[in-house]
Amino acid sequence: MIQQSWFGYIHNKASNYVRFVLCFRYIPQQLTQVNIMAVTAMDLVQNAKAVISEVTVEQAEEMFLNGSLALDVRELVEYDAGHIPHAKHISRGMLEFKIVGYPEFDDLSQSIVVYCKTGGRSALATETLMKLGFSNVNSMLGGFDTWCETHAPSET
C-alpha cells in the first residue's frame, strides 16, 4: 500500500482554537501503478504481421507487372546501393510525413508492395499505411535480400 499524506486543520469557532493534524490515506498499489509491458522490436513486427497482408517475391513481381507500386522503406543509403526497378523511396521513419508528397500515392486504393531488406520494416510500414487509410497494401516476404536471390538485379 502506498501512503499519501497532507496537513489538515480543525477550527473550533467557539474557542477560536485551531488544531493542525497530519492526515493519511492509503491507496491500493494497483491503482497507483500503470502496468506497461515492454515489447521488443520483433514483438512489434510480429504484431504487425498478424494484421497485414504479405506476398512472396514471385507474387510481388506479378503485381508490379500489373501496375502495383513498389515502395522501398529502407534508409536512403540502402536504396542508393540498389533497389527494385521503378521503386519509390520513403524511409520508414518518415513515411507518415512524406507519403503525402508523392502524387503516385494519392489514391488510397492503389496497389502497393512495400519492401525493406528482410521484411521487418516493411511489415511495420504496411501496418502504418493501413492506419493511414491505404486499402490495398502488401508487405513483401523476405524483402530485398530475397528479391536479389531469386529475381532481376536491382536498379542502381
Which residue numbers are catalytic?
116
Give me the count of residues in the chain: 156
DSSP 3-state of 55: strand
C-alpha cell at 65: 507487372
> How far is the C-alpha of 136 from the C-alpha of 126, rounded, in Å?
10
Instruction: Give the span between the Cα atoms of 154 and 102, in whole angstroms.
Output: 22
Q: Give the Cα separation of 46 and 41 in Å (integer).
A: 9
3-state secondary structure of 136: coil
Closest CA to 26 of 54, 4, 6, 50: 4
Strand partners, 12: 17
* 25 alpha carbon, distance to own chain's centre: 41
CA 83 to chain centre: 23
